[in-house]
Structure formats: C-alpha cells, structure tokens
Amino acid sequence: MTTAHQTCAASGRTPALDELMADHTRPLLTFVEKLVVDHHLAEDIVQETFIHAWQRSGRLRLGEVPIRDWLMTVARDLAVTSLRAVAVGRERTAPEVDVAQPDHADAAVAAAEAVSMLRRLSVEHRAVLLHTYLAGRTAHQTARILGVPVRTVRSRHHDALSTLRRSCLAA
C-alpha cells in the first residue's frame, strides 16, 4: 500500500499526482457519493481532495499511515463542509412564500357568533362550558366549583354541546 510520504514527498511532481489519482479516484468517488448523494458534487469534492494532497505534497509526513486513509479523511471533511454550506444556503435563499395572513374580521365575526350561540344556552349550561372549555377544568373540578354532582356537570356539558351543534346546523 502506498503511504503519503512515498506518494506526495516529491513536491507535487505530476507523475506522482497522476499515480495518486489513478490509484484512489474511484474508491474516493464511491465513498463521497455515499455521503453527498450527488455525483457531480462528489466529483468536485474528490478533485478538491487531490488539490489538498498536491498542495501539501511537500509537507505530508504521515509515515506508515496509508495515503488512502488520509485522502478519505480529507474527502469526508470536505463533504461535511459542503453539505453544511448547502444547508445554510438553502436557509438563506429559501424563497419567500406569500402566506395569507389570517383575517381579523373573520375571527371577530366567529367570536360574535360564538357569544350569540352561548347566550342561547341556559346559565347552568353556559357555566359548565365556560369552566370546562375556557378554564380547562375537569368535570370533577367544575362540579366542586359549581356545587353540583359530577354527573350533572357531564349531563349539562353533553346537552350544551348538542344545543350548539343544532344551532350550527340550523344556521
């Protein structure tokens, strides 16, 4: 197996770089394609990996560490950096979507209709709905506050909702 020292110590001579590329391009490309899932981006990363090797050819002193291990590490780092840049670019250049804003007039009309429908209920039925829906209380808590049995709260709750459903269907 070729080591970084043996391959790149020749100060970037073309034959050494050609040999390095011939020996390692296919495995690097396969490795990087699995990381980035884009063949063209993978090719760019592999090319950049070899540029790193060429630029550092005089300084690489990895001794017995196989050059392919070093190349794979460089390629992985470049792939991660590239994927991060793509992700950040998508966040920054995400097209602005024209989202319809809620119309406050619709909310006001709905609230007025709800108040009108609640006024059609008896005071007892309205009180149960206000405690259970608006205050978020349980039937037991509502029963304790109103001073009535839990079964009465449940019955009034059911009757009030049935009345409101009929009002909605009639409207």
pLDDT per residue as tens digits for the range 73-109: 889 999 888 888 877 766 555 556 666 666 677 778 8
Domain residues for 134? Answer: 118-170
Q: What secondary structure does DSSP assign to 19-76, as a single string?
A: HHHHHHHHHHHHHHHHHH--HHHHHHHHHHHHHHHHHTTTT---TTSBHHHHHHHHHH
Q: In angstroms, rounded to a whole number, what is the distance separating the alpha carbons of residues 11 and 54?
A: 8
Domain contains 113: no
Last residue of a domain, one of 92, 110, 145: 92
> How much is the pLDDT for 127?
92
21 and 87 co-located in one domain? yes
What DSSP designation does 97 have? Answer: P
Helices then strands, counting H and E runs in the chain, come out as 8, 0
Same domain assignment for residues 85 and 128: no
Are both 61 and 126 inside the same structural domain?
no
Number of domains in the chain: 2
CATH number, domain with residue 60: 1.10.1740.10
My answer on whether 135 and 80 are in the same domain is no
Same domain, 32 and 85: yes
Q: What is the pLDDT of residues 108-134, one digit of tens each?
A: 887 788 888 888 889 999 999 889 888
What is the token pair recorded at 107?
Answer: 């909310």
How many angstroms from the chain centroid is the CA of residue 46? Answer: 28
* 9 shares its domain with 55: yes
Looking at residue 93, its pLDDT comes to: 55
Distance of CA 136 to the CA centre of its chain: 32
Q: What are the residues facing 3 on neighbouring strands?
A: 66
The answer to whether residue 8 scores a pLDDT higher than 50 is: no
